[in-house]
Amino acid sequence: MTLYKWELDAVIKGVQMANIDERERLAVLAANIGYFSNAKKPKFKKVFDRAKEERLLEKAYKPEQAEADKQKRVALYNKVAAAFNEERSENGDL
């Protein structure tokens, strides 16, 4: 198989980027091990939160659903703010 120079350069760059990615994964692993070794009460959720990762993935593939959820949340916050604003006295105290 023959390659043009730019194709060879791209392949070599890809291999080098893979090495950088692997070193980054190892650095994250080392930091996590250090955290668990030194923390008095280590929490796995601080290192890896699966539910959060899954939400971010769903958000990436369904941005319209995330926007609809955001609009619902904003409407709920506005209702709560309106309810509490009505209860305040003239000087702003409850």
Q: Considering the entire predicted model, what is its pTM?
A: 0.52
Domain count, the chain: 2
- 93 and 65 part of one domain: yes
- 92 and 80 part of one domain: yes
Tokens for 36? 């668990």
Answer yes or no: are the C-beta atoms of 35 and 42 closer than 8 Å.
yes
The last residue of a domain, from among 48, 64, 86:
48
Domain of 54?
A: 49-94
State the DSSP code for 41. S
Answer yes or no: are the C-beta atoms of 35 and 47 closer than 8 Å.
yes
- 32 and 61 part of one domain: no
- 12 and 43 part of one domain: yes
Number of residues in the chain:
94
Residues 4, 2: Cα–Cα separation, whole Å:
7
Which has the closest alpha carbon to 33: 42, 24, 41? 42
Condensed to tens digits (0 to 9), the pLDDT of residues 24-80 reads: 999 999 999 999 899 889 888 888 889 998 888 888 888 788 788 888 999 999 888
- 57 and 91 part of one domain: yes
